[in-house]
């Protein structure tokens, strides 16, 4: 997740910019850069890797500037190269910008730029050239004119050598905070880099543009109307600032999901063709057609995402798919060949078991690809392609947003293979349309936060739980059960609803609650029957149901409703209430939500 830091005032800008970038390192990044005004010209420095590499690069430079912008980049458009690193400039280096977000129509804008010289693969550089094209002496006007032509999201800061005492910032969908000092201003992606200097801040809202000098701040909307903003006092320490006001990283990351889901699918779906476009697959259509088996290798939460992927690949593409626990795969003499595609799924990209399994599959001739979150990780380097899930850094040990983005990417891959095989255009388009609605529906679920908390608190004293689901929702039950046990230490198990009567039902009584996932799909009636069986054994029942299902209320002590979606996409919505349920029980029990005992975020040993 990219980070922005900017400064204008009377102090030396470079140390402030570097310190701000270091405070943004928790967000995750692969490169860093800064630009400052030096002798009436903008000078830029960029480096691959850590902020320390950037610092080393400029340590002998005699920089004397009181205005500058800086950025840590998490690669989206274009690889991890110095040319792709921010800040980006126009043709003559008089203008430079840093930018978070995605410019969806950058290809269209690029065509309109004519003979502008483009030197990177990024969408951000296209935006820089557009602002340069529209500049006629007033940077704010140029930014506003340009943003009116843009589709996508942005948090950006721009500076121009011809207006050396001004910077302009704008936001749509990507946060920006302005810190107010004594004849100085600080801009950042979140409050953590600003806290050492001031606690007086202004938060830009979507569609707002800030024009800033060392002694003035004026906010406008995109209609060029002035906007009055309230100056707020931060009551955060540094860690709280990183949490953006949430009490725990886990809760923040649960609420991140609508945004990072959009990042995961951006530029990867094509409605007209009813397909997904995941270029990192690095396979020709003919090679894709040669695949007669897919293996999804993962551990823990990632393996449950893989189980959703199995449904998707088999249903949409007609390709037999297996989900293998990474720690077991290479010890069972797996049968793979040149017609097998193996995906390693890992948030960190460093999971030792998954990496070892991928190496074994590669030795046996399979195609190996990665579905990971961390740019430049070992799995990213050792596989022959794959896809970054763009969930941003997960600082809580228990995975939330990485899980939903893994599911998203697996479904996109299944659509891509399906359209290359047997999936109709109409079905592909229906899926793409439904996928685009997911972020909005996630937000509707998150608005039920207080109700889910209320239900969770009623069950904090129970020491055993069952989670039940059928079909596509059985992996959701597995993930909900895992979340509860790993952070609250409550014993929890998950079963397919129909499997209860084959043994597990013997444990049920009034002290053994059941959380049942019973959204309206082809297995709904059978799931209702399974719930009835559990209720007959006096178990207390919580149900996750589809909006409008009033009949199911008589079976439950608590019901949580989710918006309807296509059956294959239900895990993208149904998982969120289970995450919140586990979170609020854990908080009520006084456990360490973000760092549960005995667990690590990245398991790098077998």
The answer to whether residue 144 sits within a structural domain is yes
Q: Where is average pLDDT lowest: 180-184, 185-189, 203-207, 211-215?
A: 203-207
Locate 95 and state its tokens: 């203008």
Contacts (Cβ under 8 Å, ≥6 apart) of 447:
none
CATH of the domain at 286: 3.40.50.10490
41: exposed, middle or buried (C-beta count within 10 Å: 0-12, 13-18, 19+)? exposed
Q: From CA 224, how far away is CA 222, in angstroms rounded?
A: 5
Same domain for 157 and 21: yes
**604 — pLDDT class (breaks 50, 70, 90):** very low
The answer to whether position 414 is within a domain reads: yes
pLDDT by residue (tens digit) across 438-457? Answer: 999 999 999 999 999 999 99
Domains of the chain: total: 3
- Which residues contact residue 538 at a Cβ distance below 8 angstroms, ignoring those fewer than 6 apart? 508, 509, 510
pLDDT at 600 over 80: no
Q: Is the residue at 594 inside a domain?
A: no
Domain boundary among 442, 462, 491: 442
The number of CA neighbours under 13 Å toward the Cβ of 129 is 22
In the listed set 393, 408, 442, which residue is the last one of a domain according to the structure?
Answer: 442
| Predicted local confidence at residue 568, as pLDDT | 97
CB 597 within 8 A of CB 398: no
**Residues 175 and 270 occupy one common structural domain:** no
Is 299 marked active-site?
no
Render pLDDT for 75-96 as a digit per residue (tens, 0 to 9): 777 888 999 999 999 998 899 9
The answer to whether residue 184 sits within a structural domain is: yes
How far apart are the C-alpha atoms of 30 and 25, rounded to whole Å? 10
Which residue among 222, 242, 262 closes a domain? 242
Q: Is 91 a catalytic residue?
A: no
Q: What is the span of the domain harbouring residue 334?
A: 251-442
Predicted local confidence at residue 454, as pLDDT? 97
Mean pLDDT of the chain: 92
Q: Is 538 a residue whose pLDDT tops 60? A: yes
Report if residue 567 sits inside a domain. Answer: yes
Separation CA 124–CA 103 (nearest Å): 7
User: Which of 50, 199, 526, 601 does the annotation list as catalytic?
Assistant: 601
CATH number at residue 162: 3.60.20.10
The one catalytic residue in 2, 166, 299, 540 is 2
**pLDDT of residue 1 exceeding 60:** no
Are residue 300 and residue 180 in the same domain, yes or no? no
Q: Is 267 in the same domain as 281? A: yes
Q: Do 68 and 192 reside in the same domain of the chain?
A: yes
- Do 433 and 497 fall within a single domain? no
Residue 604 lies in a domain: no
Q: Is the pLDDT of residue 359 over 60?
A: yes
CB atoms within 10 A of CB 260: 23
Residues 427 and 456 in one domain: no
Q: Are residues 416 and 463 both part of a single domain?
A: no
pLDDT at 238: 65
Q: Is 172 part of a structural domain of the chain? A: yes
Asked whether the beta carbons of 164 and 67 are under 8 A apart, the reply is yes
Q: Extract the runs of DSSP E, i.e. beta strands, from 470-562.
A: 491-496, 514-517, 541-546, 558-562
> 329-342 pLDDT, tens per residue?
988 888 899 999 99
Residue with tokens 């050239």: 129
3-state secondary structure at position 362? helix
Closest CA to 495 of 485, 510, 480, 509: 480
Whether residues 372 and 283 share a domain: the answer is yes
Whether 597 maps to a domain, the answer reads: no
pLDDT band with cut points at 50, 70 and 90 for residue 191: confident
Residue 264 has pLDDT above 90, yes or no: yes
514 CA to centre of own chain: 30
């Amino acid at each position: 997740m990219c980070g922005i830091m900017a400064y204008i005032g009377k102090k030396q800008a470079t140390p402030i910019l570097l310190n701000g970038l270091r405070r943004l390192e928790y967000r995750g990044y692969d490169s860093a850069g800064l630009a400052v005004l030096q002798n009436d010209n903008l000078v830029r420095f960029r480096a691959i890797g850590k902020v320390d590499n950037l610092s080393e690069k400029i340590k002998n430079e005699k920089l004397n500037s009181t205005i500058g912008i800086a950025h840590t980049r998490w690669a989206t458009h274009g690889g991890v190269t110095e040319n792709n690193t921010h800040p980006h400039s126009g043709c003559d280096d008089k203008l430079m910008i840093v930018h978070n977000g995605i410019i969806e129509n950058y290809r269209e804008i690029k065509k309109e730029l004519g003979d502008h010289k483009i030197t990177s693969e990024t969408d951000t550089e296209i935006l820089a050239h557009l602002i340069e094209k529209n500049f006629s002496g007033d940077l704010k006007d140029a930014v506003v004119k340009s943003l009116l032509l843009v589709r996508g999201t942005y948090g950006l800061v721009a500076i121009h050598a011809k207006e050396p005492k001004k910077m302009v910032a704008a936001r749509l969908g990507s946060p920006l905070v302005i810190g107010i000092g004594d004849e100085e201003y600080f801009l950042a992606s979140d409050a953590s880099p600003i806290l050492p200097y001031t606690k007086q801040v202004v938060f830009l809202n979507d569609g707002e543009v800030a024009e800033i000098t060392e002694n003035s701040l004026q906010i406008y909307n995109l209609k060029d109307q002035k906007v009055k903003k309230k100056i707020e006092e931060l009551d955060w320490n540094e860690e709280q600032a990183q949490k953006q006001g949430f009490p725990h990283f886990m809760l923040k990351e649960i609420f991140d999901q609508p945004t990072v889901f959009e990042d995961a699918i951006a530029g990867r779906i094509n409605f007209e063709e009813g397909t997904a476009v995941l270029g990192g697959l690095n396979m020709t259509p003919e090679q894709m057609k040669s695949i007669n088996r897919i293996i999804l290798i993962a551990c823990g939460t990632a393996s449950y995402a893989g189980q959703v992927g199995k449904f998707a690949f088999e249903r949409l593409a007609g390709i037999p798919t297996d989900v293998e626990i990474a720690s077991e795969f290479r010890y069972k003499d797996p049968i793979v060949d040149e017609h097998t595609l193996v995906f390693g799924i890992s948030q960190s990209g460093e999971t030792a078991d998954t990496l070892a399994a991928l190496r074994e599959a590669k030795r046996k001739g399979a195609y190996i690809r990665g579905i990971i979150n961390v740019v430049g990780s070992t799995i990213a380097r050792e596989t022959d392609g794959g896809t970054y899930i763009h969930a941003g850094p997960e600082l809580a040990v228990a995975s939330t947003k990485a899980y939903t983005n893994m599911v998203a990417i697996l479904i996109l891959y299944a659509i891509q293979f399906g359209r290359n095989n047997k999936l109709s255009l109409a079905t592909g388009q229906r899926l793409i349309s439904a996928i685009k609605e997911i972020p909005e529906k996630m937000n509707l679920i998150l608005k039920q936060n207080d109700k889910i908390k209320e239900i969770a608190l009623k069950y904090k004293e129970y020491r055993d739980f069952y989670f039940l689901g059928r079909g596509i929702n059985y992996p959701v039950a597995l993930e909900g059960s895992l979340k509860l046990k790993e952070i609250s230490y409550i014993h929890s198990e998950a079963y397919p609803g129909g499997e209860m009567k084959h043994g597990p039902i013997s444990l049920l009584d009034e002290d053994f609650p059941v959380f049942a996932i019973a959204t309206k799909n082809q297995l709904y009636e059978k799931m209702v029957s399974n719930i009835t069986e559990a209720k007959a054994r006096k178990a207390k029942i919580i149900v996750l149901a589809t909006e409008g299902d009033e009949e199911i209320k008589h079976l439950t002590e608590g019901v949580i409703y989710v918006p309807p979606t296509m059956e294959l996409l239900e895990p993208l919505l149904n998982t969120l209430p289970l995450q919140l349920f586990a979170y609020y029980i854990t908080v009520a029990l006084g456990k360490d939500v973000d760092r549960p005992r005995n667990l690590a975020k990245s398991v790098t040993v077998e």
